[in-house]
Amino acid sequence: VMRRFRQKLRIEKEVRGFGRSHGGGVPDSVVIVSYSGNRVEVKNPAGWLKLFADCYGAFKDDDVLPAIKEWCDGCKSATVAAELNGIAHRVFYERSKMFFGYALGLAVERKIVRF
């Protein structure tokens, strides 16, 4: 789940590109290139995009959300994102565990991920 949050911008880009070339709509899957250069197929990109929006919305009043967004969407390290937002490194990791635990619970509930 954490990896998908870190790939959010790439997923959004591929979905937008699909919509432009196909007159709208959302694909069943998209292929993105990870930071390491590997091609990754992301199934149900619409479900992932909805999950991102719902998690960000659920934590909108939490002080840790701007740091998590900078870490995931801003390509900053966790340490830098935490420091820029005035959050101690340890506190950031503890609070981000809650955020990603919530995200994982939603993803399992929505059958986006399976074990």
Nearest Cα to Cα of residue 26 among 43, 8, 40, 39: 43
How many Å apart are CA 10 and CA 57, to the nearest integer?
A: 20
41's CB contacts (< 8 A; 6+ apart) are 29, 30, 31
Residue 16 has pLDDT above 80, yes or no: yes
Angle value at C-alpha 44, between 41 and 101, nearest 5 degrees: 95
Residues paired with 31 in a beta bridge: 41
Average pLDDT (53-58) is: 97
Average pLDDT (91-97) is: 95
